[in-house]
Amino acid sequence: MAFPVTRLRRLRQTEGLRGLVRETRLTPEAFVYPMFICPGQGVRKEVRSMPGVFNLSVDEAVKEAREVYALGIPAVMLFGLPEKKDEAATGAWEENGIVQQAARAMKRDVPGLILMGDVCLCEYMSHGHCGIVRKTPGANTEYEILNDPTLELLARTSVSLAKAGIDIIAPSDMMDGRIGAIRRALDDAGSINTPILSYAAKFASGFYGPFREAADSAPQFGDRRSYQMDGANLREALREIELDIEEGADMVMVKPAMPYLDVIAAARERFDLPLAAYQVSGEYAMIEAAARNGWIERDRVMMESLISIRRAGASIILTYFAKDAAKLLA
């Protein structure tokens, strides 16, 4: 008996059919919009290497938050640019730090918006590294990032952000043991219900360049390869994620996204916690630059890139495209 030829194209004939059988779906509820908060008033300064992305003063950030929430995007991730930097990252943890100011203002004006606070020290340190630095002349390296003393500052920052109204603490520093230290500090401060979204597998990547311009966070010497992950290591990434879960992470993240789709897929297969992925500044900038040169269709490639991240297994996507993608999905 001869069987009829299978014709997969039957279900591709119209947009209605394609939508009906679509396996992977994007919704604005999956997006988190990153925002850069700076001192001043009425400041809306476009980042040169990230067209459409701005450094925003608190008053302008509140306006942006209103727009984000109205588009159905449930959350923002806040990064701070302090008025001054030092070697104790004071701007990260002081009561009136720039992110703390923004959090309080957003909570008053857009109470339903979920506020995530990036917890790292690089934007606040005068040297631009993610931890306390000790110089080691004559050793194999000229400097060392001190892990355990850095944990104290990360924990202090996390407690300060939670008190200011940040709903989700998101450490991105890649120090060993940071999740446990932050969890203990939050619990001791009475913030037992504040979740932690860990940048668990954060790779030392060339895709961060535009972010470092936006956040003014480039290291003044050396690089971050001694604490961020080697991009060649998938199994190590899974160990990092597992350790963070054991220490108390409620959600985990892979960063960057598209160059590490295999890591996202492997993490989704192995762990059952909510999984986020960060489509980072370099990914955004490349698409924008190619589109502005007429080499690609911007919106089509934007959506294709986001679908690829969702298809790999991320249920939460941090992306600078969040607003534009939400408008297309409306």
Q: Are 253 and 199 in contact (CB under 8 A)?
A: yes
Helices (H), 121-167: 147-164
- 228 Cβ contact list (under 8 Å, min separation 6): 174, 202, 203, 204, 205
What is the per-residue pLDDT for 137?
Answer: 65
- Phi and psi at 161, nearest 5°, equal -65, -40
Ordered DSSP codes for 73-89: --EEEEEE--S--BTT-
The residues carrying an active-site annotation are 202, 255
Surface-to-core class of residue 22, CB atoms within 10 Å of its CB (0-12 exposed, 13-18 middle, 19+ buried): exposed
């993240």: which residue's tokens? 253
What is the structure's pLDDT at 222?
74
The answer to whether the CB of 122 falls within 8 A of the CB of 130 is yes
Residues 143-186: pLDDT tens digits? 788 999 999 999 999 999 999 999 999 999 999 999 999 999 99
The pLDDT value given to residue 8:
86
CATH numeric code, 26-329: 3.20.20.70
**167: burial class by Cβ within 10 Å (0-12, 13-18, 19+)?**
middle
* pLDDT confidence band for 138 (50 / 70 / 90): low
Question: pLDDT, tens digit, for every residue of 56-113?
Answer: 999 999 999 999 999 999 999 999 999 999 999 999 999 999 999 999 999 999 999 9
Amino acid at 249: A
**Which token pair is 311?**
């298809």
Cis upstream peptide for 256 (omega within 30°) = yes
Helix (H) or strand (E) holding 300: helix 298-312
Closest CA to 129 of 64, 45, 218: 218
Q: What are phi and psi of 118, to 5 degrees?
A: -65, 130
Span 197-227, pLDDT tens digits: 999 999 999 999 999 888 888 887 778 888 8
Q: What DSSP designation does 233 have? A: -
Mean pLDDT value across the chain: 94
Residue 216: which of 297, 122, 296 has the closest Cα?
122
Residue 134 or residue 239, greater confidence: 239
pLDDT of amino acid 142: 77
Rounded CA-CA distance 244/198 in Å is 7
Instruction: For residue 7, count CB atoms less than 10 angstroms from its CB and return exposed for 0-12, middle for 13-18, buried for 19 or more.
Output: exposed
What is the spatial distance between Cα 183 and Cα 49, in angstroms, rounded to a whole number? 36
Give me the DSSP letters along 56-124: E-HHHHHHHHHHHHHTT--EEEEEE--S--BTT-HHHHSTT-HHHHHHHHHHHH-TTSEEEEEE-STTT
Q: What is the DSSP letter of 172?
A: -
Element (H, E) at 207: none
The pLDDT, as a whole number, for residue 183 is 98
Q: How confident is the model at residue 4 (pLDDT cuts 50, 70, 90)?
A: confident
Closest among 175, 147, 171 to 157, alpha carbons compared: 171
